[in-house]
Structure formats: structure tokens, C-alpha cells
């Protein structure tokens, strides 16, 4: 079975979307308000992989129970180095029910916010159309 | 033995400092440049606990080897809700050799940056004085 990391490494966003629970909640590094549901979460992830350059995971921390994962990544955005982490919480069926992202440092987070905002109306339109 | 989390929960910053390796490197959520050494790292942590209100850990992820820990916290800064994570890497002797912090969302990260900047000259002076 393909892992989440393997799917992202392969930029196989269909496989990533298939791992999301229908009621997954996405917590953005930028916005306070959570984004509920598979459609909007998948749309955000498809956009993020376009915004980041040279995205790669550098550290994985897995909880003994196997339900909580922290995947630390490095990438570039607007030419700035960015470090971040995908916090994934899985349910008993192996679906991702909670997806939280944090990034650092601040200037790179602000660059990410600018790049995502530029694409945000499109994300919302796609999410509305697909679900 | 007191864990890092227990020491922070008790706001026992002397105990926290005793867990830092002499050559620990601190990676701020705000600044790109790492801060090397125990003195400046301890000074930053002592300041951060003053800046955050209602700081408490909400999730712990430990890898099987026990050397990488991710401690997710919630707090308030300038009245804004902030979520963050302390990524700790321990050496074989149980000392923290790498300490990275990320926070979200962006507005809270910017508030944290403002509050830390206001205290930053003091931090640097303390670090210079203590070693």
C-alpha cells in the first residue's frame, strides 16, 4: 500500500485525495478558520504542491499507536527557504481525519499566504463545484 | 525523572535549561537564522513563556527510537489563539540538541514576532552576559 509520503513524493494527488476521510478537517498554516471536508482539503493540497518548489520531506515522527504522524518538510516559496510540518491524524480505517500544517520562518509563511491568496478564489470555486 | 513537558507544565525553566545540550541549536518560528548554543536558547525559552498566555500542550508524537519528539501546544498571544509545535531532537544522553518551533495561524505568528522583537535586545544582552 502506498503511504501518504510516497504519494506526495510521487506528486500523485489522486492517491493523496483517496487517503482523505470525507469529513477530514484541514487546518491551514495561514488562516485561523478550519476548512472542513474532503473537496476543499484536496483542492488546497493540489494548489500547495504547485506553490512550493523543491518540496521534500526531511523528518518523520510517528506515534507508537500509528494514528498521529508529523512529517517535516523543506521547500521554497517565492525563492525563500521554508520549513513546515504536516500533522496527520488517521482513523481506524487508515483515512486522514485531521490535517494541520505549520510553517516557518515568518517571511516564508507570509510569502506562502500571498501565493495561496492569489489562487484562493479558484480553490473555493473548485470545492463548490466538486462537492 | 522529569520530562521536558512536565518541566514546561510546571514553568520550571531551570529544569528546562538543564535538559539543553551545550551546543543545542534553536530554530525560531519567526527568524530564518538558527540560534546556536544553550545560553541564547534558554533565554529565548524563558521569554517565550512570558509572552504566551494559557500555554498548554495538547498532543505528543514520539518516534519509536525516542530521539524525535513533536509536542503540539495551544496558547494565546496578544489575545489571539495560537497553535504551535516544539520539535525536540535528543542525543543519546537525553539532552536536547535541536529545538525547532513552528506556529500557526499567520496573524498569531506575526503577533508573536512583535512580542518577541520587543524583548529581543534584552535576550541578546542576557545571552552575551551568561556565556
> Which residues from chain B sit within 8 angstroms of residue A107, using beta carbons?
32
Beta strand extents in chain A (DSSP E only): 20-27, 35-36, 53-62, 68-77, 80-90, 96-104
Task: Choose among B61, B62, B106: nearest Cβ to A30.
Answer: B106
Tens digit of each residue's pLDDT (9 = 90 or more) over A42-74: 999 999 999 999 999 999 998 877 789 999 999
Tens digit of each residue's pLDDT (9 = 90 or more) over B85-125: 999 999 999 999 999 999 999 999 999 999 999 887 776 67
Predicted pLDDT of residue B120: 77
Q: Which of A16, A12, A21, A2 is nearest to A95 (CA)?
A: A21
Task: Choose among B30, B68, B105: nearest Cβ to A29.
Answer: B105
Q: CATH classification of B4-130 is 3.10.450.50, yes or no?
A: yes
> Which residues from chain A sit within 8 angstroms of residue B72, using beta carbons?
87
Instruction: With cut-offs at 50, 70 and 90, classify the pLDDT of residue B65.
Output: confident
Report the SS3 class of residue B4: helix
Rounded Cα distance between B21 and B61, Å, is: 21
pTM score of the predicted model:
0.92
Grid coordinates given for B43 = 533565554
Domain boundaries, chain B: 4-130
Task: Choose among B31, B81, B85: nearest Cβ to A85.
Answer: B85
Interchain CB contact of A84 with B (< 8 Å): yes
Predicted pLDDT of residue A30: 95
Rounded Cα distance between B105 and B111, Å, is: 10
Environment class of residue B49 by beta-carbon count within 10 Å: exposed (0-12), middle (13-18) or buried (19+)?
middle
Tens digit of each residue's pLDDT (9 = 90 or more) over B72-96: 999 999 999 999 999 999 999 999 9
Say what the ipTM of the complex is: 0.90
Rounded Cα distance between A44 and B44, Å, is: 34
Interchain CB contact of B114 with A (< 8 Å): no
Amino acid at each position: 500500500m502506498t503511504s501518504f509520503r510516497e504519494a506526495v513524493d510521487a506528486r500523485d494527488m489522486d492517491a493523496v485525495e483517496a487517503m482523505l476521510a470525507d469529513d477530514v478537517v484541514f487546518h491551514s498554516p495561514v488562516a485561523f478558520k478550519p476548512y472542513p471536508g474532503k473537496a476543499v482539503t484536496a483542492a488546497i493540497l493540489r494548489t500547495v504542491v504547485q506553490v512550493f518548489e523543491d518540496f521534500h520531506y526531511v523528518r518523520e515522527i510517528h506515534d507508537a499507536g500509528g494514528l498521529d504522524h508529523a512529517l517535516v518538510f523543506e521547500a521554497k516559496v517565492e525563492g525563500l527557504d521554508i520549513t513546515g510540518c504536516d500533522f496527520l491524524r488517521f482513523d481506524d480505517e487508515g483515512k486522514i481525519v485531521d490535517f494541520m500544517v505549520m510553517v516557518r520562518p515568518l517571511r516564508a509563511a507570509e510569502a506562502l499566504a500571498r501565493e495561496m491568496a492569489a489562487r484562493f478564489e479558484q480553490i473555493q470555486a473548485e470545492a463548490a463545484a466538486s462537492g
